[in-house]
């Protein structure tokens, strides 16, 4: 099974992924960690959103290969990969359908105020789920970038409220 974790910046996806891992014995794919390890040291001032999106796409091709291997081993995949856009979530639904995999959406529906507090705290404490600092500008960008799940996406979803 593929677990798609959906929620805007600071919703608690990484923390939730860790608890879901305990419940399912699944493997977590955290895109922030992949980006930090594989790409951030190579980023220059002129590299923008398109630079990140291209690297995300390459990372996800590897993730999909690993997801299929895990599925054959009867291990769940927990995707903490952003999924901020409907098209991104749809890509994984189609991938699952093409490979006869079950998908479950987990929507972390958390208010902006709480999410912002969490980001500020995470930036200061640099705890377990910290990968890089999220600036005020990055947070506000993601507020506009994020597309909440549609009603049809939420029909069978697990919804986590504050």
The pLDDT profile of the chain, 162 residues, written as one tens digit per residue, is 999 999 998 898 989 999 999 999 899 998 878 877 887 788 888 988 788 788 888 889 999 999 999 999 999 999 999 899 999 999 999 999 999 999 999 999 999 999 999 888 888 788 777 676 787 888 888 889 899 999 999 999 999 997
Is residue 159 within a helix (H) or strand (E), and if so which, with residue range?
strand 158-161
128 class by beta-carbon count within 10 Å (0-12 exposed, 13-18 middle, 19+ buried): exposed
- Tell me, which fold does domain 2-161 have in CATH? Rossmann fold (3.40.50)
pTM of the model: 0.84
């Amino acid at each position: 099974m593929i677990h798609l974790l959906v929620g805007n910046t600071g919703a608690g996806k990484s923390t939730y992924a860790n608890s879901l891992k305990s419940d399912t014995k699944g493997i977590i794919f955290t895109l922030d960690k992949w980006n930090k390890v594989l790409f951030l040291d190579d980023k220059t001032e002129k590299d923008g959103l398109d630079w990140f999106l291209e690297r995300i796409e390459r990372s996800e091709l590897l993730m999909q290969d690993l997801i299929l291997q895990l599925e054959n081993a009867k291990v769940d995949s927990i995707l903490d990969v952003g999924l901020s856009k409907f098209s991104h979530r749809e890509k994984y639904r189609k991938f699952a359908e093409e490979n006869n995999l079950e998908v479950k959406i987990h929507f972390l529906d958390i208010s902006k105020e709480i999410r912002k507090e969490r980001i500020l705290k995470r930036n200061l404490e640099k705890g377990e789920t910290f990968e890089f600092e999220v600036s005020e500008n990055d947070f506000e960008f993601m507020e506009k970038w994020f597309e909440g799940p549609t009603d049809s996406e939420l029909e069978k979803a697990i919804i986590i409220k504050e």
